[in-house]
Amino acid sequence: MNNKIIKAKYNESVFDEFEGLVGSNTMYFIVNMKDIDIDTFKESIKRTARDIPIMACRMVRGFWKDKWTPIEDYDVNQIIETIKVDSKDSFYERAYEQFLQLPSRRINMRTEPPFKAKIFYNEEISNKVLILCMHHSFTDGRGTARVFELIEKHYFAILQNKPLPKQKNVSTVSALILSLNAKSFFDMFATSFKGAMQQSKFNTAIKPLLPADVVYDTNSCEAIERIVLYKADIDKLKDHYKDYNITVNSILMLLTLKLMVNYNKDLLEPSTHACVAFGTDLRRYFKKNPLSIANYSVMDSVTVRSEDVDNLPVMAAEFDTLKNKPIGLKVIVEPVMTSLLPISTQRKILRKWAFKYFVEGSIRSIQTTNIGRTDEYAALFGDTVENISFIGCSPICGFPQVSVARYKDTMTLYFLKYNDTIGIAKKVRDDFNELLNEIITK
């Protein structure tokens, strides 16, 4: 294994600093499988860590740069836990229930590497549930799927006795910027300036719906609620909006906007606008499709007048406009400029950003992360994989984050909130489910 200290990149240190300021930054990539050889899977993770050395390191904070320091006497068995599920009946559900009760699933960046895995099994059946736990300092939502894909490639290379050549990973912001075409490069600066000007307007037009109480307890678990949509449900959603050519992802954002309008009705003076924040993948701007296990996802948002949310022609036009915007580029410039400073100085700036954008945003709107279809990342396993879902970071205050992933004909939505003392994750899940049922139960 690699035994060299690695300088941490800015887009890795960011999420180490955000840990505790905005929530828990551990993400979960969940795979339900008919069968897998555990020893081969362990070896494939070991080989993946050779390609991505920080998988076997822990982060140590520094003055100029943070550092990824190799774990002493690293053994892949240190980061892989096999957990027995007592009953083979409803195996996937019982494994998931045990996962929810597992305190060791979260990652402590001071003592652990940014990746570990949980394998749930029952001795009487071959089915397994793989849960890959990854810290946001290591990669982003779409990146978790790429980690699984790389492990999968090594898995089958081992079975075929054909070692996979060392994989080159692209992980710097500069690589992304150098890949932008002239128009995107210009849009990056233009939208950054415009976004800064609009922030104060956002805070005025959209009022807080929840208090900005930031209480971080390392012993507190995330509240995780779930909705699973199957093919018949998805088809009914698409059919309901077929006259407006609205994608499934846009439908989910539309329903989230409806929730925000409904919650605003409880205010004495409701907000004039509604907003939903969404994670967007900057990999779309790469000229090629590199491995890119890194942080290339950022938050953008769509804001509309509250009175327009139920006007489908207007909303359809809004979503069409959104597709043609330089999504995500506006958040690049400011971090890149500050990354020239020592990381110890940047941390002070990051704390201000955390409250300005994440805390202030989360008490006014719901943040969503949709990593989309995951079929391509499990192509080698084929029908062995029965479902894939994704759980993103859990915010510390305000509304829960909604994490979405689709595998074949199944879409899974998670509603997650850190230290949820008021049951807001369950409330939002139930309210969202009610909006869905108004459509799919007709």
Q: Which fold has domain 6-159?
A: Chloramphenicol Acetyltransferase (3.30.559)
pLDDT value for 407 = 98
The domain limits of the chain are 6-159, 180-440
- What gap in Å lies between CA 164 and CA 185, rounded to an integer? 36
Q: What percent of the chain has pLDDT over 70?
A: 96
Strand spans (E) along 282-319: 297-305
- What gap in Å lies between CA 4 and CA 10, rounded to an integer? 19
pLDDT band at 173 (very low <50, low <70, confident <90, very high): confident
pLDDT value for 1 = 59
Question: To 5 degrees, how large is the angle CA 213–CA 218–CA 222?
Answer: 70
Tell me which of 425 and 204 has the higher pLDDT: 425
pLDDT band at 439 (very low <50, low <70, confident <90, very high): very high
- What gap in Å lies between CA 148 and CA 115, rounded to an integer? 11
pLDDT value for 190 = 81
pLDDT band at 200 (very low <50, low <70, confident <90, very high): low
Decide if 374 contacts 145 (C-beta within 8 A).
Answer: yes
pLDDT of 438 > 90? The answer is yes
List, as one string, the DSSP characters of 310-355: T-HHHHHHHHHHHHTS-TTGGGTHHHHHHTTS-HHHHHHHHHHHII
Same fold flag, 6-159 and 180-440: yes
Q: Which fold has domain 180-440?
A: Chloramphenicol Acetyltransferase (3.30.559)
| Helix, strand, or coil (residue 57) | strand
pLDDT of 2 > 70? The answer is no
Neighbours of 164 (CB within 10 A): 18
* Beta bridge partners of residue 245, listed in sequence order: none
Tell me the average pLDDT across 255-263: 97
Tell me the average pLDDT across 118-134: 96
pLDDT value for 73 = 85
pLDDT band at 202 (very low <50, low <70, confident <90, very high): low
Tell me the average pLDDT across 191-206: 64
pLDDT of 197 > 60? The answer is no
pLDDT value for 359 = 86
pLDDT value for 408 = 96
- What gap in Å lies between CA 86 and CA 349, rounded to an integer? 49
Q: Which two tokens stand for residue 321?
A: 């406009």
Residue 377, by phi and psi: left (phi above 0), alpha (psi -120 to 50) or beta? alpha
Tell me which of 359 and 316 has the higher pLDDT: 316
pLDDT of 213 > 90? The answer is no
Over residues 317-365, the pLDDT tens digits come to: 999 999 888 888 888 887 777 778 899 998 888 888 888 778 888 999 9
